[in-house]
């Protein structure tokens, strides 16, 4: 199969799943000021944001690199930086 990770597919319809975490709750955050050129989408779970005109390696689940993928467990296990301090006694 040809390597399609650098293709620029520009699917301006809301994709089915997040390229990064495969979640299916996605929103459209922005439309191009020039009508119909691109849209910016966001995943509700991992907050990944991408533009429809970006290369497939950033926009397509199947082309999204394994090293950058996130799972629900990764998100739950993510450390806090900085940690929330205890409330001071008043």
Partner 1 sequence: MPYDDLRSFLDTLEKEGQLLRITDEVLPEPDIAAAANAAGRIGEGAPALWFDRVKGFTDARVAMNVHGSWANHALALGLPKGTSPRQQVEEFARRWDAFPVAPERRADAPWQENSVTGEDVNLFDILPLFRLNDGDGGFYLDKAAVVSRDPEDPDHFGKQNLGTYRMEVIGRDRLAIQPVPVHDIAKHLRIAEERGEDLPVAITLGNDPVIPVVAGMPLAYDQSEYEMAGALRGAPYPIATAPHTGFDVPWGAEVVIEGVIESRVRQIEGPFGEFTGHYSGGRRMPVIRIERVSYRTNPVFESLYLGMPWTECDYLVGPNTSVPLLKQLRAEFPEVRAVNAMYTHGLLVIISTAKRYGGFAKAVGMRAMTTPHGLGYVSQVILVDEDVDPFDLPQVMWAQSAKVNPREDVLILPNLSVVELSPASQPAGVTSKMIIDATTPVAPDVRGNYGTPVKDLPETAEWTERLRTLLANR
Give the interface with Zn ion as residue ranges (CB under 5 A). Answer: 18, 20-21, 23, 43, 45-46, 48
Burial of 42 (0-12, 13-18, 19+ CB in 10 A): middle
Q: Is 72 in the site for partner 1 (CB under 8 A)?
A: no
- The 24-63 contact track toward partner 1, x by CB under 8 A, reads -----xx-xxx--xx-x-x---xxxxxx-xxx-xx-----
Residue burial 49-70, b: 16+ Cβ < 10 Å; e: rest: ebbbbbebbbbbeebbeeeeeb
Enumerate binding residues for partner 1 (CB under 8 A).
8, 20, 29-30, 32-34, 37-38, 40, 42, 46-51, 53-55, 57-58, 65, 67-68, 70, 74-75, 78-82, 84-88
């Amino acid at each position: 199969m040809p390597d399609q990770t650098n293709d620029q597919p520009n699917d301006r319809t809301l994709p089915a799943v997040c390229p990064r975490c495969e979640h299916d709750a996605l929103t459209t955050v922005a439309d191009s000021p020039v009508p119909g050129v691109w849209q910016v989408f966001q995943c509700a779970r991992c907050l990944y944001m991408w533009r429809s005109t970006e290369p497939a390696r950033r926009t397509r689940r199947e082309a999204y690199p394994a090293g950058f993928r996130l799972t629900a467990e990764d998100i739950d296990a993510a450390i806090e930086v900085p940690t929330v301090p205890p409330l001071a006694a008043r």
